[in-house]
Amino acid sequence: MRGGATLFLIILFVLGASQALALRMRDLNVAPYRDYLLLYAYLEDMPFEDLKEALRHGLGLAFTFRIEIYRTRRFLRDERFFSQEITRTVYYDPVKNIYYVQTVGALEAPRRATSPRQALLMASNLEGLPLFPLVRLKTGVRYRLKLKAEVRKITRVGWPKKIIRFLLFKGESLETPWASLTFSL
């Protein structure tokens, strides 16, 4: 019985430790500003040391945010109103000793950071992100925003390793559970 109790405690410890390594979203909020709906959200519990080492060894990081907004309906299934995916990449330039944070598909130049912590915070924070014009929303209608984030390491490998990784492994990624927020105008 003593061995069974020890095994049970080890399993609980392992499950608890794996829960501690999961990413979480905090301070999820939307706000109208001028003519746009802005999104505010921050990633929490990131393994900064692991991500810092990955950047130092030449791996890039991709922060992908999936945003969905549904129009809630009382007796029918909620209707998807808006869907967007935003990806920010972080790279390290060892010659210049500078970290670059770029939003994929954006017209602006990559932002520069002098430390890995600053670069990771720039990539992981959605602070004042414009989603769409406010004229698309109707007053008195309830909407539900869902947000999920994924952080993965970008590796450059040949085709045989890609096929083996696809067949055997999911890859080096962390993701948050869906966070949701209900709002109306």
Cα–Cα distances (Å) from 124 to 25, 71, 160, in that order, read 10, 27, 32
* pLDDT tens, N- to C-terminus, the chain (185 residues): 455 555 454 554 444 444 445 789 999 999 999 999 999 999 998 888 988 988 888 888 999 999 999 999 988 999 999 999 999 999 999 999 999 999 998 888 999 999 999 999 999 999 999 999 999 999 999 999 999 999 998 876 555 555 555 544 445 688 999 999 999 98
CB 82 within 8 A of CB 117: no
CA dihedral of 152, 156, 157, 161, whole degrees rounded to 10:
10
Q: Nearest-CA neighbor of 118 among 28, 36, 55, 24? A: 55
For the full predicted model, state whether its pTM sits above 0.85. no
What is the per-residue pLDDT for 6?
A: 55
User: Could you please report the per-residue DSSP string of 108-158?
Assistant: SPPEEESSHHHHHHHHHEEEEEEEEEGGGSPTT-EEEEEEEEEEEEE----
Q: For residue range 3-35, what is the model confidence (pLDDT) as tens digits? A: 555 545 455 444 444 444 578 999 999 999 999
CA nearest to 149, candidates 58, 64, 69: 64
Cα separations in angstroms, 99 against 46, 95, 177: 18, 11, 28
- Amino acid symbol at 121: L
Domain boundaries, the chain: 23-184
